[in-house]
Structure 1
Amino acid sequence: MNFSLSTLIPYTESYFLVFSRLFFFFLFMPGLVSVFVPGRIRLLMALSVSYAAAPMVGLSPSFSLLTCVKESFFGFFLATVIRILFEGVSMVGGVLSHQSSFGNAMGSALTQETEDLFSSFCTLYFITLFFATELHIVLIRGVMNSYDIFPIGSEFVYGDVSSSVVHYLAQGFEAAISLAAPFLIFGVFYHILLGLLNRIVPMLPVIFIGHPISLFIVLTMLMICISRFAVVFSEIVSRFAEGFFA
């Protein structure tokens, strides 16, 4: 039996093209983009998943530097759209900080950027839900299905990219509003009540009295609603994966 290394060239090219897309996807995937996840871990994940995915994708029709760049951009685009959705959902923390008058307390959960404690908590909570409910498996399966929509070597339509980014940015903002709706309603009535109280009793320090009350009410509402957050968040990500990768 004669064996030549030249027979491995098409398989190597196909593997490298699959790796180009998956590497950039894992490089910017939510939860893995943290400074606490070393780059070599993301590299090993991309290498292993590419090794399993390459036979399913099949041999590539052509191999060139331009094709590698296109595949890398596809992976970057898929991860960026998912991160846009996560950033939109994480806006709930900003709403909580504003309504609880606790926005000056700063901390950091997954990044080196300083943010308020509620935003840091929500980011860490949603990332934990993302992995605990195996939604990352849903997204990885969706990325594999993306080869049916965007085969290797397909042209990238930049107009569709911009419209998709705007669409999913709006979807993430809508998800954040739906999650933060109880706190927004509380904030409206709370500030109206403070305004009326200040008019009725001008000498009363309403800010001094109102801050502890608002913090207590927001924490109580968060304790009640946090289990519902998990259900709504799972539905949002699953619906996103089904709609985007279908």
Structure 2
Amino acid sequence: MLQELLELNIFAFFLIFARIGTAMVFLPGFSAAYVSTLLRLGIALAISFLVLPTLARDLPLPPNSAFELANMMGAEILVGAFIGLIMRIMISALQTAGTIAALASSMANALINDPIADQQSSTISGFLLTTAIVLIFVSDMHHLMLRAVVESYVMFVPGSELPIGDFANAIGRQVADSFALGLQLSAPFLVVGLTYYIGLGLIGRLMPALPVFFFGLPVQITVQLMMFTITLTGIMLAFIQNFQSSLGRFVQ
């Protein structure tokens, strides 16, 4: 009896860890390059252990064959990857906004090694992503991310058939929504940049001998940095509200 109970608890623990651990690989903040792999593993193990008593009673019994076990574990890994990717795509809206703003302000070549996106990106994108991660953790919204992962067991019951088609549709829809949000957040920079280039073109026509690009680039960067300072609060507020409402789809 004791051996069967131990086998059941070990199976339930690793089944839960498969989903939560995979989600940790993609969750914003937890998946950043500066977060130690051991720390990420420890957080996933701790959360799996904490939610084990609550979720164990709703989990299926251990399968009789290795193939069924591998199939069940693979399904849990897929669900964890889906939830983590959705949240990763949500925050990519700021990367889109920062890239467009950098192009509009002639700062696209000012690249930094972005630890959040784990790649090179523009300075504005890196600043926006880092600020977003700080706000997410300061406002305790990372609890909402972890809650969404745990409550996914209500939406995607272990052992049941996975809606693969719905997964693909949800990811595609989230990519479109994130791109649209990034475009909206960068709209002030596009408007200012377009207006500035029109004015620069008129000056060039009126004064052909004037080297417009000699003084035009510093003025453009200065104006766009001032615009960035003015709109930063609104950009982050709009993103946080959108991020919270998007996470609400996974929280009961």
Residue 244 of structure 1: CA displacement? 4.1
Match 2:33 to one of 29, 32, 35: 35
Residue 230 of structure 1: CA displacement? 2.5
Contact 1:135 1:234 in 2 (8 A): no
Partner of 1:62: 61
1:106 partnered with 2:111: yes
Residue 45 of structure 1: CA displacement? 0.5
1:124 partnered with 2:138: no
Alignment of 1:18-97 (within 5 A): 18-59=16-57, 60-63=59-62, 64-97=69-102
Q: For residues 154 and 89 of structure 1, do their structure 2 counterparts lie closer, same or farther at Cα, with a shift above 3 Å needed?
A: farther
Residue 33 of structure 1: CA displacement? 2.1
Alignment of 1:64-213 (within 5 A): 64-110=69-115, 113-213=119-219
- Rounded to whole Å, the distance in 2 between the matches of 1:195 and 1:155 is 60
Contact 2:95 2:128 in 1 (8 A): yes
- Rounded to whole Å, the distance in 1 between the matches of 2:250 and 2:180 is 16
Post-superposition Cα deviations, 1:83-103, rounded to whole Å, max 9, x if no partner, equal 111112221111221121122
- Rounded to whole Å, the distance in 2 between the matches of 1:56 and 1:136 is 20
Unaligned residue ranges in structure 1 (runs of 5+): none
Unaligned residue ranges in structure 2 (runs of 5+): 63-68
1:217 partnered with 2:223: yes
- Rounded to whole Å, the distance in 2 between the matches of 1:17 and 1:208 is 62
The alignment yields a C-alpha RMSD, in angstroms, of 1.6
- Rounded to whole Å, the distance in 1 between the matches of 2:180 and 2:142 is 22
Match 2:11 to one of 6, 10, 13: 13
Residue 112 of structure 1: CA displacement? 5.2
- Rounded to whole Å, the distance in 2 between the matches of 1:130 and 1:209 is 40
Post-superposition Cα deviations, 1:194-233, rounded to whole Å, max 9, x if no partner, equal 2222222222222222111111111111111112223212
The residue type paired with residue 157 of structure 1 is: P
Post-superposition Cα deviations, 1:15-68, rounded to whole Å, max 9, x if no partner, equal 111110000001121122222111111110000011111222133213322111
Contact 1:21 1:72 in 2 (8 A): yes
The residue type paired with residue 99 of structure 2 is: G
- Rounded to whole Å, the distance in 2 between the matches of 1:65 and 1:112 is 31
Contact 1:89 1:173 in 2 (8 A): no
1:108 is paired with a residue of what secondary structure?
strand
Post-superposition Cα deviations, 1:150-206, rounded to whole Å, max 9, x if no partner, equal 011121222111111110001111221221121111122112112222222222222
Residue 115 of structure 1: CA displacement? 2.1
Q: Identity across aligned pairs (percent)?
A: 28
Contact 2:94 2:125 in 1 (8 A): no
Per the normalisation by structure 1, the TM-score is 0.93
Which contiguous aligned blocks of 4+ residues in structure 1 show a shift greater than 3 angstroms? Answer: none
1:243 is paired with a residue of what secondary structure?
coil
